[in-house]
């Protein structure tokens, strides 16, 4: 997938916003992990999205683990997948959260980290407009991770509100005031730090996070 050019704002098309999101959070396009949560045990996590999952006569879970299944057929990342992720539900109305596998396979089949030379220009400009004067390598005191909450994705201040949700709302044209109206537990600085964290995420391999509860 090529990098987008120009700026993206609230007047941009959904296609342009999705392209911006994909340029910021890049990884393998041939497969993606989907979050699951067991109704029986409450256990949650991520597993590769498979077209044959629970297909009668093909999928033999739980007798055969996915890693040992000869019928695995991974689903690729598409614009629809990103749209479902940003909206929170798939085409069938089921809860949907996608992850990303950041390691790409090169032509020799060896996993290697890929870096774009200019991934965050458009997004970085938006961050600079919202939070001028912030510098890189800052400590993110409002961003927390907890493996027992929301599958361990970065959230805000221990709340069950992922950073990605806030970033997606900004990409869809929501103002800070609008986001606070949707999530009364958030503060304006939470929105600012979520944007800064997303911008830093495409530049830094490791980010300092506050410890989760």
Domains of the chain: 27-113 (no CATH), 121-211 (1.10.10.10)
Candidate ranges 60-74, 82-96, 107-121, 148-162; pick with highest mean pLDDT: 82-96
The pLDDT score that the predictor gives to residue 12 is: 83
**Integer Cα distance of 23 and 118 in angstroms:** 10
**Integer Cα distance of 151 and 185 in angstroms:** 20
Per residue in 91-141, pLDDT (tens digit) is: 999 999 988 876 444 432 222 223 222 333 333 444 444 444 444 445 678
- Scan for tokens 């997303």, then name that residue: 198
**Integer Cα distance of 173 and 169 in angstroms:** 7
Q: 14-24 and 79-87 helices cross at what angle (nearest 10)?
A: 90
The pLDDT score that the predictor gives to residue 51 is: 94
The percentage of the chain sitting over the pLDDT mark of 70, rounded to a whole number, equals 73
């Amino acid at each position: 997938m090529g990098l987008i050019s120009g700026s993206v704002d609230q007047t941009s098309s959904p296609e342009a916003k999705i392209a911006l999101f994909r340029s910021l959070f890049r990884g393998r396009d041939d497969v993606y992990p989907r979050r699951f949560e067991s109704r029986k045990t409450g256990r949650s996590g991520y597993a590769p999205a498979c077209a044959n999952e629970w297909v009668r006569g093909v999928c033999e879970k739980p007798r055969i683990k996915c890693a040992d299944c000869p019928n695995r057929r991974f689903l690729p990342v598409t614009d629809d997948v990103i749209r479902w992720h940003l909206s929170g539900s798939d085409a069938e109305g089921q809860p949907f959260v996608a992850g990303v596998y950041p390691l790409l396979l090169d032509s020799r089949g060896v996993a290697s980290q890929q870096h774009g030379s200019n991934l965050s220009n458009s997004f970085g400009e938006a961050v600079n407009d919202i939070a001028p004067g912030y510098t890189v390598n800052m400590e993110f005191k409002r961003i927390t991770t907890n493996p027992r909450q929301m599958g361990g994705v970065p959230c805000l201040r221990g709340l069950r509100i992922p950073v990605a949700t806030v970033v997606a709302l900004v990409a869809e044209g929501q103002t800070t005031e609008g986001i606070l109206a949707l999530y009364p537990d958030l503060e304006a600085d939470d929105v600012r730090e979520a944007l800064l964290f997303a911008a830093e995420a495409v530049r830094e391999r490791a980010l300092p996070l506050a410890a989760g509860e």
